[in-house]
Amino acid sequence: MNKKIKIEVSARHIHLKKEDFEKLFGEGAELTVMKELSQPGMFAAKETVKIINENFQINSLRIVGPLRSYTQIELSKTEARKFKIDPPLRRSGDIENSLGMTVIGPKGKTEISEGVIIAKRHIHMTPKDAEEINAKDGDLLKVKTRGGRGLTFENVVARVDENFSLAMHIDTDEGNAGGVGGVGEGEAV
């Protein structure tokens, strides 16, 4: 069954664990909501950090909250090339044996030994959405976009949870390739 799906371009960002956040912003600091995101409880924070290696730096990398149990930096392939690194393509949260990076905040810095990834494109969905699409958590799906740069994204990971809202997330490289700017629409096929 074909089902329309909102497609959102997820720009580079960082998720922080509490210990790293406090190193960067000071003990007792808290994230400030700048904008609610489509997934319930998630938000773009006002706070940003700098990430740096010997080849390149990004001065204002947005933090996505709330705080997590791990620190993870999500880059596009194009951004990774500027750093002259080759992060693994992974599902969010799968950071074991990934790359590290220096992260700098207004109150300090931290060296993460792993956590830099290129996030696999994925669709957040409820169990009801999954049933309508005939998918289960971890399945690989195809999503077709329309328009002048229309294409079919393959290997889109189904992420199923009762608390999710139906939306596909792609990075900026994928958004540019498919002519999706910010928010678009596709169809699960």
* Nearby residues of 81 by Cβ (< 8 Å), 6 or more positions away: none
For residue 30, the tally of other CB atoms under 10 A from its CB is: 12
Tell me whether strands 140-145 and 183-188 are parallel, antiparallel or unpaired.
Answer: antiparallel
Instruction: Retrieve residue 178's tokens.
Output: 């498919």
The rounded Cα 48 to chain-centroid distance in angstroms is 15
* CATH of span 3-7+121-188: 2.40.40.20
Taking the domains of the chain in order of start, what are their residue ranges?
3-7+121-188, 12-119
135 within 8 A of 52, measured Cβ to Cβ: no
The string over 135-169, giving b where at least 16 C-beta atoms fall within 10 Å of a residue's C-beta and e elsewhere, is beeeeebebebeeeeebebeebbbbbeeebebbbb
33 within 8 A of 65, measured Cβ to Cβ: yes
Distance CA 113, CA 22 (A): 17
Tell me the whole-structure pTM to 2 decimals. 0.94
pLDDT, tens digit only, all 189 positions of the chain:
578 999 999 999 999 999 999 999 999 999 999 999 999 999 999 999 999 999 999 999 999 999 999 999 999 999 999 999 999 999 999 999 999 999 999 999 999 999 999 999 999 999 999 999 999 999 999 999 887 888 999 999 999 999 999 999 999 999 999 988 878 899 988
Instruction: Retrieve residue 123's tokens.
Output: 């669709």
Tell me whether strands 167-170 and 89-90 are parallel, antiparallel or unpaired.
Answer: unpaired
The rounded Cα 28 to chain-centroid distance in angstroms is 26
